[in-house]
Chains A and B, each alone.
Chain A
Amino acid sequence: MATTSRRPAPALFRPFKGGRLAKHVLLIGFGLVMLYPLLWMISSSLKPEELIFREPGLWPSQVTLENYTEGWYALKHPFGYYLWNSAVITALSVVANLVACSLAAYAFARLNFPLKKLWFAIMLGGIMLPHHVVIVPQYIMFSELGLINTIWPLVMPKVLATDAFFVFLMVQFIRTLPRELDEAAEIDGAGYWRIYLRVVMPLCLPALATTAIFTFIWTWNDFLSQLLYLNNPDNFTVTVALRTFLDASSDSSWGPMFAMSIVALGPIFGFFLVGQKYLIRGVATTGLK
């Protein structure tokens, strides 16, 4: 990373050097084209229904919050109800992933045990496995257990550390920590649990943050498992509720749907603003997206 700042403007674009301003203009222009649909959705959510069709422009000539109030109460439950369902599942998933994945990662990174290499290879293999190979039997299993329309099919896999990617991420991170810390704690009489909890975990904060942020975003955005396991409107999460919105509303009532889409994106957008650094570092170093 340190090599960048000193690097002279690479040669490919040297002919442009004089036109640095032009480059900024081009980049901003391109960025605007990219974000245009998003900005248009925000602007449309604030426009009275009849203007959405007629104005492709971004600045609403008339601003109203009606779409938000209408959308909030358009489904069986007020939209806050679905937000809460999503929040519960997401919060449990984040906590479960943090605990379960870090436990496994500590063992892989620091402890020795028989067949360690084999288990580690199996864990890595799990990262590659397409989810679809296991969804049918998983569905049958949860259905036999009578757990459809509960949060268990969504949270249980996280409690059991099946997001192998995060285990791997933390293993890689823990390996960068000096072992002398563990050894010093051990000499002070600390057991493995204490070392894990008091020495390794506090130093793992960046890896834990990355895990928490990505688990949050993936779970909040998840559609397929929530569609499969939650089919009673009383259990709907935001994503599944939004989808019924699409089915229920005629094509003319875009406003409320856009308004609720914005509400659904809100938490992700918030995380994006707050956790940008971790997010971008997470993508750059691990390929998590």
Chain B
Amino acid sequence: MADSVAVKPRKAAIPPAQGGHRSTKRSRREARAAYLFLAPWFVGLLVITIGPIFASLYLSFTDYSLLESAKWVGFDNYVTMFTEDPRFIASLKVTTIYVVVSVPLQLAFALALALVLDRGLRGLSFYRSIFYLPSLLGGSVAIAILWRKVFGADGLVNAVLAIFGIQGPGWVGDPDTALSTLILLHVWTFGAPMIIFLAGLRQIPSSYYEAAAVDGAGALRQFRSITMPLLTPIIFFNLVLEVIKSFQSFTQAFIVSGGKGGPADSTLFYTLYLYLKGFKSYDMGYAAAMAWVLLVIIAALTGINFLASKYWVFYGDDK
């Protein structure tokens, strides 16, 4: 990416040794214009992003409640988190289970449907839209409300089960099942990665399949030797994206659990606990520390993903 930045390299504004050289004058004018175009972005970078990043790093070493000035406590917040805060550990566990279970499931569904749809089937765009729609709505409060009601003790799921004479559990009210309803909600939104898979499948030249067929490769063999290897970069892309995204899930857990992460902290997502600490108990230093741990976790996971990708992602023979 970075190498394509300077498409047409011109000399940067270097003060001319003597007199105004035409091209430097021009490049200085160009640089001035560029900084003007970028002015809003620069201000945003400073005020909305970089400033707050450093502020949050500082706050993470303090005890700060918004009412009194911040008190430096060193690593206390970080130590407390891992040694004396069972809810923090619970939130970490809940989120980890959520990511580890729902992301592979979601991607498996996405890939399976993409494979079924990628066959010159009539009505492709219709199916694509139908399966994509939940992805678009899935993060909304309205759908989370629906989920809470569908999986309520007297909700739709239990009403359907009752037809078959099955007495369903309380789902969202039961610590054993509450998290699985959220996992299901996430899997339900498989449409977006599915579309990325579909786009990836289209990049595979049909000549590969024709050649393989001529060589007598069967269906499974073609899938294993052509489709899968050529699709690994897309699987990797989706994996990284979904892990980052689902680690930050908030709305669904907030609404389904009524803003508390219950029952028995079984849906206390990491970001939900961060919200409760920072904006309900006004323990802002602690919340900032949690945010930094989240940043480290996400960076580490992304890094591991990239390292591991060397062993299974196939980038074609051009590299």
Contact = CB atoms under 8 A, between A and B. Distances in A.
Interface in A229-276: 239, 242-243, 245-247, 251, 254, 257-258, 261-262, 264-265, 268-269, 272, 276
Nearest to A251: B152
Given A111-B31, A128-B302, A131-B248, 11 more contacts: A3-B205, A11-B219, A24-B123, A38-B137, A100-B40, A112-B30, A113-B12, A113-B31, A120-B5, A132-B295, A141-B51
B160 to A, nearest CB: 5
Contacts of B121: 20, 23-24
Contacts of B4: 175
Contacts of B45: 122-123, 126, 160, 162
B183 interface: no
Contact of B116 (A5, A27, A100): A27
Contacts of A31: 127, 130-131
Contact of B288 (A136, A179, A228, A246): A136
A159 B244 CA distance: 25
Contact of A56 (B13, B40, B156): B156
A136 to B, nearest CB: 5
Given A5-B120, A228-B279, A246-B255, A112 B10 contact: yes
Contact of B5 (A24, A108, A247, A283): A108
13 contacts: A3-B203, A4-B118, A100-B44, A130-B294, A136-B59, A136-B288, A140-B59, A156-B48, A223-B254, A224-B271, A243-B259, A258-B146, A264-B141
Given A56-B159, A104-B38, A285-B199, A114 B141 contact: no
Contacts of A143: 66
* Residue in B49, B141, B198 whose Cβ sees the most chain A Cβ within 10 Å: B141
Please give me the 7 A-B residue pairs with the lowest Cβ-Cβ distance, nearest first. A160-B44, A261-B142, A137-B55, A7-B206, A107-B37, A284-B199, A137-B52
B49 to A, nearest CB: 6
A242 B145 contact: yes
Interface stretch (B79-87, B220-228, B311-319): B220-228
A124 interface: yes
Interface residues of A, number: 106
B186 interface: no
B3 to A, nearest CB: 9
Contacts of B128: 280
Contacts of B47: 141, 160
B7 interface: yes
Contact of B52 (A123, A134, A245): A134
A134 B288 CA distance: 8
Interface string B2-38: 1011111110110000000000000100110111011
A103 interface: yes
A198 interface: no
* Contact size range, B: 35 or more
Contact of B48 (A108, A120, A138, A196): A138
Contacts of A114: 12-13, 31
Interface in B123-140: 123, 127-137, 139-140
B36 to A, nearest CB: 8
Contact of A160 (B43, B136, B206, B302): B43
Given A114-B31, A117-B6, A137 B209 contact: no
B180 interface: no
A129 interface: yes
Most chain A CB within 10 A, of B30, B149, B241, B255, is at B149
Interface of B: 1-2, 4-10, 12-13, 27, 30-31, 33-35, 37-38, 40-41, 43-45, 47-49, 51-53, 55-56, 59, 66, 115-123, 127-137, 139-143, 145-150, 152, 154, 156, 159-160, 163, 188, 192, 195-196, 198-199, 202-206, 209-210, 212-213, 217-220, 222-223, 227, 237-238, 241, 244-245, 247-248, 250-251, 254-255, 258-259, 271, 274-275, 278-279, 284, 287-288, 290-292, 294-295, 298, 302
A161 B31 contact: no
A266 B283 CA distance: 37
Most buried by B among A113, A265, A268: A113
B130 A34 contact: yes
Main secondary structure of the interface of A (DSSP, over half): helix
Nearest to A160: B44
A288 to B, nearest CB: 9
B161 to A, nearest CB: 10
A223 B250 contact: yes
Contacts of A141: 47, 51-52, 55
B223 to A, nearest CB: 5
Contacts of A192: 30, 33, 37
A74 interface: no
Contact of A13 (B34, B116, B238): B116
A167 interface: yes
A3 B206 contact: yes
A187 interface: no
A172 B144 CA distance: 35
A120 B4 CA distance: 11
B24 to A, nearest CB: 12
B295 A12 contact: no
A106 interface: yes
Given A34-B134, A104-B40, A10 B118 contact: yes
Contacts of A35: 130, 133-134
A130 B120 contact: no
Nearest to B115: A12
